[in-house]
Amino acid sequence: MQNIIYFFAALVLVTGLFIMLTSDNYLRKIIGLGIFQSSVLLFYIALGKVSGAILPIDICPNSANCPYNFSSPLPHVLMLTAIVVGFSTMSVGLALIYKIYKEYGTISESAITQQEDN
């Protein structure tokens, strides 16, 4: 039952993928990208959870007799990097969309393909 979080992450992944691949509007594709990358965040953080453990923040003044278990902090850190990467990808994508809008006057994929075919 504790693995349901992974199914949820898979659900978010597929949702994001679907939005990315089937949207007509470029902005929606970027949003799908964001959702897609969030699923990976969920997946990693869920990996790091140790059952019965608290957040990986050191609140013990004396590290010798610490009564708490901590979840693994490594995935949290990795995901910080992944969030930054996702954020920069989104900004590049948005910049590209802006340029596309300036060139074509529309950000709908079908309208642009139609324009190109003419």
Helix axis angle for 26-48 and 4-22, nearest 10°, is 160
Q: How far apart are CA 44 and CA 38, in angstroms?
A: 10
Using CB under 8 A, count the residues that bind another protein: 30
H or E stretch at 42: helix 26-48
Pattern 22-61, binding to another protein, x per CB under 8 A? ----x--x---x--xx--x--xx--x--------------
Closest-CA residue to 89 (of 13, 34, 22): 34
- Binding another protein (rule: CB under 8 A), the pick from 5, 20, 31, 83 is 20
End-to-end CA distance of the chain: 55
**By CB under 8 A, residue 82 contacts another protein:** yes
Residues that bind another protein (CB under 8 A): 13, 17, 20, 26, 29, 33, 36-37, 40, 43-44, 47, 74-75, 78, 81-82, 85, 88-89, 92-93, 96-97, 99-100, 103-104, 112, 116
